[in-house]
Amino acid sequence: METTTQDMQSLPLPPGNVCLPIIGETISFLTDRNFHKKRLDKYGRIYKTHIFGSPTVTMTTAEANQFLFTNENKYVAATWPKSTETLLGVASLANQTGEFHQKRRKLMSQAFQPRALASYIPTMANITSNYLQKWEQMGTLTWYPELRDYTFDIASTLLMGTDVGSQTALAQVFKNFCEGLFTIPISLPWTRFGKALHARQGLLTHIETIVRQRQQQKNSGQDALGLLLQARDDEGNSLSLDDIQDQVILLLFAGHETLTSAIASFCLLTA
């Protein structure tokens, strides 16, 4: 039995408010720290809204989450907001699903096997030691910006071979990129999304230059980028330049933004 678009549109939706066209409730979502609590109190644990240009249903029950996690690629598919999807890139692992996602993930995992991870420890320990000495000399510091530089130095060193990346122009480019990831996808020079698109192009160019240099060397290196360049699947296929570029951007984001928040929260809770 097939389900038509008309059938789908006739199904009831959870209570909630989509507010303004395109913008929806994005502004409230970004500015009101009690956004979720207010709607939880008003509409219950499952409600609809409209953020980042997309109609959205928020679910907070264990049963709803179990349904999502056990039926991915059957009834539902994991997606990102349009702005995030565009900036991470078509080839990004985050935008892939199903069998193709599994094959790409298996190929990329070669750079994150236990032996590979162990080889990254000396670099990470050296950067950590330098920052600890710096923080000790500072006496007083603001955690988040310092941790943001710390994680970016580790990520940029392992993924692009760029030492002290936080002190280069690349750091500002990446900051502009990250600031547009979760925004309304309107591409104008003065919007965050427009600036992020420009920053993405700068990152792609930078990564391509490094990849070309590595490919001309006899040994592409034993850092994460080098291992990604050497990775082969069961048929002997490697990652293309487009693949490498989008995966490096994804890994920079995953190993920088989210990790910075986690470490900052840990420091806050243990202080």
Angstrom distance (rounded) from CA 101 to CA 110: 15
Q: Tokens 């030492």 appear where?
A: 163
59 and 118 belong to one structural domain: no
Whether the predicted pLDDT of 261 surpasses 50: yes
| Poorest-pLDDT segment among 6-10, 86-90, 114-118 | 6-10
pLDDT class for 150, splitting at 50, 70, 90? Answer: very high
Q: Looking at residue 3, what is its pLDDT?
A: 45
Q: Which of 36-50, 93-107, 226-240 is predicted most confidently?
A: 36-50
Would you say the C-alpha torsion 184, 185, 186, 191 has a positive or negative sign? positive
95 part of a folded domain: no
Do 73 and 153 have their domain in common? no
Q: What are phi and psi of 147, to 5 degrees?
A: -70, -30
**108 and 73 in a common domain:** no
Residue tagged 């330049």 (tokens): 241
> For the residues of 75-91, what is the DSSP string, one character each?
TB-----HHHHHHH-TT
Average pLDDT value for residue range 153-170: 85
Q: Which two tokens stand for residue 260?
A: 């910075």
In a domain, 69, yes or no: yes
pTM, full prediction: 0.78
Domain count, the chain: 2
pLDDT of the residue at 6:
55
pLDDT of residue 164: 78
Residue 214 within a domain: yes
Q: What percent of the chain has pLDDT over 70?
A: 96
**Distance from C-alpha of 86 to C-alpha of 191, rounded to nearest angstrom:** 15
**Would 92 be classed as within a structural domain?**
no
- pLDDT for res 73: 74
Helix (H, G, I), strand (E, B) or coil at 24: strand
- What mean pLDDT is reported for the chain? 86
Please tell me which residue, 152 or 77, carries the higher pLDDT value.
Answer: 152
Residue 66 and residue 114 share a domain: no
pLDDT tens track for 33-77: 899 899 999 998 888 988 877 888 888 888 988 988 888 777 777
Picking from 223, 230, 231, 229, the residue whose alpha carbon sits closest to that of residue 208 is 229
- One domain for residues 185 and 257: yes
CB 157 within 8 A of CB 127: yes
In the structure, what pLDDT confidence band is assigned to residue 106 with cuts at 50, 70 and 90? confident
Task: Print the domain residue range for 24.
Answer: 5-77
pLDDT value at residue 270: 87
DSSP 107-169: HHGGGGSHHHHHHHHHHHHHHHHHHHHHHHHH-S--HHHHHHHHHHHHHHHHHH--TTGGGSH
Residue 237 shares a structural domain with residue 109: yes
Q: Write the pLDDT tens digit of every residue in 234-255.
A: 888 888 899 889 999 998 888 8
Whether residue 159 lies inside any domain: the answer is: yes
Q: Is the pLDDT of residue 2 over 50?
A: no
**173 falls within a domain:** yes
- 89 lies in some domain: no
Please state the rounded mean pLDDT for residues 156-173: 85
Kindly state the average pLDDT of the residues 4-10.
Answer: 58
Q: Tell me what pLDDT residue 193 has.
A: 94
Shared domain for 116 and 237, answered yes or no, is yes
Do 28 and 122 share a domain, yes or no?
A: no
> Between the CA of residue 184 and those of 32, 92, 99, 192, what are the distances in Å?
17, 20, 30, 8
For the cut 70, the answer to whether the pLDDT of residue 8 exceeds it is no
**Residue that is written with structure tokens 């979760």 in the block:** 182
Q: Indicate which CATH number applies to the domain containing 136.
A: 1.10.630.10
